[in-house]
Every structure is written in structure tokens, then in C-alpha cells.
Amino acid sequence: MSEKMLTVVVPSYNEEESIPLFYEEMIRVYDTELKDKIDLEFLFVDDGSKDRTMEVIHELNKKDDRIHYVSFSRNFGKEAAIYAGLENASGDYVAILDADLQDPPALLPEMIRIVEEEHYDCVGSRRVTRKGEPPIRSFFARQFYKLMAKISQAEIVDGARDFQLMNKKVVNAILSMGEYNRFSKGIFGWIGFRKKWLEYENVERAAGETKWSFWKLFLYALDGIIAFSTAPLVISSVMGMVMCLVAFLAIIFIIIKTLVFGDPTSGWPSMVCIIVLIAGIQLLSIGILGQYMAKTYLETKNRPKYLIEEAKLQDKEIL
Ligand code: UDP
Ligand code: MG
């Protein structure tokens, strides 16, 4: 028995096929490289799965008492699952890994070595390739990271995964950000601390299929922008100012033209275009404002980020 413990947090939504594969791989890595150094705790967060995920976890629990779990009353999303995992982890180090083996447990020994020997607080992982992903998806993902780098204070690294190992300090820092609209990639970047990045090649899903459609990813990207930047609000103001300036110059131009050349009635098609353009810009600006308002509204309600239906944790059992 060593004194330190590693908690492996696994957000799982409909992962009945992946979880046994994940468990096996994790145990293989642990038994070969980590057993003598550190204790292990699994913390599966069942995010309201509709398949047999919970039964699979119960079965594992029967044969291995290092298995702990939290099961949500419905699907609250991966962000909520990560929060629940961090909140209920009892290890000195916490790692977040996807159930589908896209975050290779084989990187964990190296991560632990870095945290222990090189005194980093946190070790992140980033994919250097996006092999096996639809090209359009990769393209938009890249653009998103470029845009975020320009407009946000949080450092968000291209290709960064949620897969990371952190010590208690970092876990507490993340938990102290109690916002309801959680964008983990932004939160991880915002908190700072000494962080080292490990790079690896993209791995395809072991089983099952991705829960992210293009549309879901698009909305997620918008959430990220709104959560970590107020630049869109500035865009509306700047557009408004430019429009006022253009209109002002146009008015002067028209007055002078009328005084010099008289007033032949003409140009109503261009007028319609201008009205439509300006109406469009106004609606867009109100829309942007509305997005921030909506988020503020949800934030002020202070709802719980997740609700537990059933859980088995280190020191308590909720049924
Ligand atoms: N996940 C979750 N709740 C959700 C969607 C996904 O807990 O609402 C989990 C999922 O089970 C997996 C991880 O988040 O362990 C990553 O999901 P996925 O593999 O579908 O995303 P991708 O790797 O394609 O980005
Ligand atoms: Mg995946």
C-alpha cells in the first residue's frame, strides 16, 4: 500500500460496450506500471445513460471494490459529469479519461512521473493529428481555436483534450469555478498553474459511437465563446458606431447634393437595401445581447449542475 491515490474519473454516456474494454486496459496499465507507486480508484460518472451502462458498472463493482460511481437522474452533459467526478474524487491525483479509450490510459504513468518528479501541478494532453475525423469538422475546430485565442483571456490550446492529470490544488481551483454554463477547455486554461502538455496521435473510438453531432459541436463552440469572451458584444457596438458614421457622412453628402443639383426623387431601391441591412445588423446585435442575457438568466437561477440518482463513493453510499 502506498500513501497516494489516483482517481480515474470516467464520464460515461451510453458506453456499455466501451466500459469493459476501458476497465481492462486501465487495469493492464496500472498492474504493469503503477501498482507499486500509487493506489487506484475508479469513479465512473454515468450521465443518465439509456443503455446498460449502469448494469455494466454494477457488474464491475461486484468483482472490484476500487470501483466507485455516481449516476445522474438524466443526461446532464459531459461538463456536468466532469464536475461531479472532480467533486467526488478522493484521490490525491485526479485524471479525467473518456470511456471510449480515445484518451489512452498508457499515458498515465508518464503523467504521474511528471507531476511527482518535475513538480508540475497538471499534465494536459493534446492531439497533434485529427486523423479519422471528418475534414470539415477538423477545419471548423481549428478556426474555433484560432478565434478563441484572439478574443478570450483563457488560454485554449488547439487539440487540447479533457484528458488530464491534476493534483488537489488544481482540482479545487476548478471546483471553485462554480458556473452553471461550464466550458471545461476554457476553465482549464483560465485557472493557470504549472501545466505541461503531452502530445499524442488521435486514436479512434474503441466501440460505440460519438455523442457529438456537428450541430451539437457548433452550439458547444458558441457556448465556449460566450462563456470566455465578451468580444461579440464589442462587435455590436463597433458595428453600430461605423453605421452611425456612414449615415452621418451620407446625410451631409445628400444635403450638399440637394442644394447644388436640386432634388430629383430617385434611389428608393438602394434605400430598401440600406433599411434591410441596418435592420439585420440591429437584430444581430440584439441577438448577441440576448445570448449573454440568457446565460446570465440561467446562471442566476443557481440550479444544481447535476442530480444524483444513485452513487457509491469512497466514504458514502447514496441509493
Ligand atoms: N459523454 C458524457 N455525456 C454526454 C456526452 C458524452 O458523459 O452527454 C462522455 C462519453 O461517454 C465519453 C466522453 O464524454 O466518455 C466523450 O464523448 P465522445 O467520445 O462521444 O466525444 P468525442 O470523443 O467524439 O469528442
Ligand atoms: Mg470519443
Please tell me the predicted confidence (pLDDT) of residue 1: 53
Q: Same domain for 53 and 76?
A: yes
User: For a substitution probing ligand 1, which of 16, 211, 220 has the most ligand atoms within 8 Å of its CB?
Assistant: 211
Pairing of strands 160-167, 195-200: unpaired
Q: Where is average pLDDT lowest: 63-72, 103-112, 151-160?
A: 151-160
Q: How far is the CA of 216 from the centre of ligand 1 (A)?
A: 12
Is residue 139 included in any domain, yes or no?
A: no
pLDDT score of 52 more than 80: yes
C-alpha cell of residue 134: 471528418
Please work out whether the CB of residue 214 comes within 6 Å of at least one atom of ligand 1: no
Residues 90 and 185 reside in one and the same domain = yes
190/67 same-domain check: yes
- Quick one: which atom of ligand 1 is closest to the CA of 98? 15
**Ligand 1 centre distance from Cα of residue 100 (Å):** 8
What total of structural domains would you count in the chain? 2
Same domain, 171 and 295: no
Same domain, yes or no, for 310 and 170?
Answer: yes
Does 250 share its domain with 168? no
pLDDT greater at residue 5 or residue 234: 5
Cβ of 103 closer than 6 Å to ligand 1, yes or no, is no
Does the C-beta of 98 come closer than 6 Å to ligand 1? yes
Q: Strands across the sheet with 39-46, in order? A: 195-200, 122-127, 160-167, 93-96, 5-12, 39-46, 67-72, 308-312, 317-318
Answer whether residue 147 is part of any domain. Answer: no
Q: Is 232 in the pocket of ligand 1 (CB under 6 A)?
A: no
Give pLDDT tens digits for 276-319. 888 888 888 888 888 899 889 889 998 999 999 888 887 766 65
Q: Is the beta carbon of 46 within 6 A of some atom in ligand 1?
A: no
Report if residue 189 sits inside a domain. yes
The average confidence (pLDDT) of the chain is 87
What's the gap in Å between 97 CA and the centre of ligand 1? 10
Does 275 reside within a domain?
yes
Do residue 24 and residue 85 come from a single domain?
Answer: yes
Q: Is the CB of 306 under 6 A from ligand 1?
A: no
Is residue 9 located within the same domain as residue 44?
Answer: yes
Asked whether residue 112 is domain-assigned, the answer is yes
What does the pLDDT look like over 226-278, one tens digit per residue? Answer: 888 888 888 888 888 888 888 878 888 888 888 888 766 667 777 877 888 88
Report the C-alpha gap between 47 and 11 in whole angstroms: 7
Give residue 269's domain range.
231-301
Cα 86 from Cα 160, distance rounded (Å): 19
pLDDT at residue number 2: 62
Residue 173 within a domain = yes
* Residue 217 belongs to some domain of the structure: no
Q: Which pTM was predicted?
A: 0.81
CA-to-CA distance for 237 and 174, rounded, in angstroms? 33
pLDDT value of position 130: 72
Q: Are residues 100 and 235 in the same domain?
A: no
Q: What angle do CA 112, 80, 174 make, to 5 degrees?
A: 50
Residue 266 lies in a domain: yes
Q: What distances in angstroms separate CA 189 from CA 94, 118, 133, 153, 192, one per listed residue?
A: 17, 20, 24, 9, 6
Among the residue ranges 12-26, 56-70, 242-256, the one predicted with the least confidence is 242-256
C-beta of 212 in contact with ligand 1 (< 6 A): yes
**Residue nearest to ligand 1 atom 19, measured at CA:** 210
282 CA distance to ligand 2 centroid (A)? 39
CATH number of the domain to which 200 belongs: 3.90.550.10
Proximal ligand: closest to the CA of 70: 1
